[in-house]
């Protein structure tokens, strides 16, 4: 029975664990948090991500799934808190890689996101070809920079050990992610603007079922196959749902429509608050979204072409995102 370790308890760790257990894998979730998953999910808590703490859990493990949470900030925080959060993201990945490279793991599956490496105003996925390193700006601000640094660190570190196969997956939005429940909670309090317009807030969605199937296929392919430094977008031309973020929110919070406003008004409000906070003229507002998050969700139509379909995997999705738009995943920790 092949041993698989999932590093990180964030979405979709629970679903991955359940799927792999059903497929007769010896799977375990490892994280630093207390009881972040149901008791039915095999879980080990570690004090930190150092080699000494993590390495014992990687003995005899063939595949590691490293989850970087889709946790785009929904709250404005102080500059110090923002810097600490971003540094923790990169530090966690660096320490995890130290332990992975120190072990005899044969396969790394890195689950990131499709947006972190997009520069400002590159909202049609051009960067998937151009920016294999660090771009000069980030659509997601400093949070996107931290995620991009973490992924680039992982890709560079994988060059050090040719015996490890690696694949870097960048999924688009998944409506089952509990992150959307948190966004809906803010919308229910009038803290998310409802902006009409058919050219804004359209995004591609992927069904959770398809993400899980793809990861399982990566684990079950021929052991001699190496996906060295390969990465892809998990989206499929015949299963794309260019959906409004507003539709997802309205399905969970009908009162969201009561906060209708114009884009210009909402943008001006968020930009003013962002500038005042940037120059330390006011405290961060808890009633507004961070400006990069606002722009991603409601200013941009973000899309990716199908030119990066994964040729090595030949994966065919079996569930359309439209079937999952109103679904909620079980409650779980996000980061």
For the ranges 122-126, 200-204, 312-316, the lowest mean pLDDT is seen at 312-316
Buried b (16+ CB within 10 A) or exposed e, 139-158: bbbbbbbbbbbbbbebbebb
Average pLDDT score over residue span 46-68: 96
Please give the Cα distance from 201 to 198 (Å, whole number): 8
Residues 231-259: tens digit of each pLDDT: 555 544 444 455 678 888 888 888 888 87
CB atoms within 10 A of CB 176: 24
Burial class (CB in 10 A: 0-12, 13-18, 19+), 280: exposed
Please give the Cα distance from 247 to 105 (Å, whole number): 42
Please give the Cα distance from 54 to 66 (Å, whole number): 13
Please give the Cα distance from 290 to 141 (Å, whole number): 9
* Strand locations in 264-306 (E): none
Please give the Cα distance from 269 to 285 (Å, whole number): 11
Residues 184-225: tens digit of each pLDDT: 999 999 899 988 876 677 888 888 888 898 899 888 876 545
Residue 166 reports pLDDT greater than 70: yes
Q: Are 53 and 46 a contacting pair, CB within 8 Å?
A: yes
pTM (global) more than 0.85: yes
Please, how many CA atoms are within 13 Å of residue 88, restricted to the half-sphere of its CB? Answer: 10
Q: Is the dihedral of CA 238, 242, 245, 247 positive or negative?
A: negative
Per the model's pLDDT, the better-predicted residue between 120 and 319 turns out to be: 120
Q: What is the dihedral of CA 31, 21, 25, 29, to 10 degrees?
A: 0
**Domains of the chain with CATH codes:** 3-324 (3.40.50.720)
């Amino acid at each position: 029975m092949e041993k698989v370790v999932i590093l990180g308890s964030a979405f979709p760790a629970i679903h991955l664990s359940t799927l792999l257990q059903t497929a007769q894998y010896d799977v375990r979730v490892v994280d630093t948090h207390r009881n972040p998953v149901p008791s039915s999910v095999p879980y080990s808590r570690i004090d930190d991500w150092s080699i000494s703490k993590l390495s014992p859990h990687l003995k005899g493990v063939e595949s590691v799934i490293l989850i970087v949470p889709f946790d785009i900030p929904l709250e404005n925080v102080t500059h110090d808190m923002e810097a600490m959060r971003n540094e923790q993201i990169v530090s966690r990945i660096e320490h995890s890689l130290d332990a992975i490279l120190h072990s005899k793991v044969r396969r790394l599956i890195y689950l990131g996101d499709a947006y972190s490496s997009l520069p400002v105003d590159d909202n049609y996925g051009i960067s998937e070809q151009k920016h294999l390193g660090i771009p000069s700006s980030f659509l997601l601000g400093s949070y996107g920079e931290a995620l991009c640094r973490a992924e680039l660190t992982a890709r560079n570190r994988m060059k050090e050990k040719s015996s490890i196969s690696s694949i870097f997956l960048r999924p688009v939005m998944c409506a089952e992610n509990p992150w959307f429940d948190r966004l809906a909670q803010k919308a229910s309090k009038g803290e998310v603007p409802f902006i009409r317009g058919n050219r804004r807030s359209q995004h591609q969605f992927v069904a959770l079922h398809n993400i899980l199937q793809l990861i399982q296929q990566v684990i079950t392919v021929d052991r001699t196959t190496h996906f060295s430094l390969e990465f892809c977008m998990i989206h499929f031309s015949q299963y794309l749902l260019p959906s409004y973020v507003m539709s997802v929110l309205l399905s969970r919070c009908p009162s969201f429509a009561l906060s209708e406003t114009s884009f210009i008004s909402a943008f001006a409000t968020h930009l003013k608050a962002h500038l005042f906070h940037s120059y330390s003229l006011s405290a961060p507002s808890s009633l507004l979204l961070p400006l990069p998050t606002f722009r991603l969700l409601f200013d941009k139509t973000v899309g990716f072409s199908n030119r990066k379909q994964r040729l090595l995997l030949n994966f065919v999705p079996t569930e359309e995102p439209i079937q999952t738009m109103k679904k909620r995943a079980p409650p779980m920790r996000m980061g």
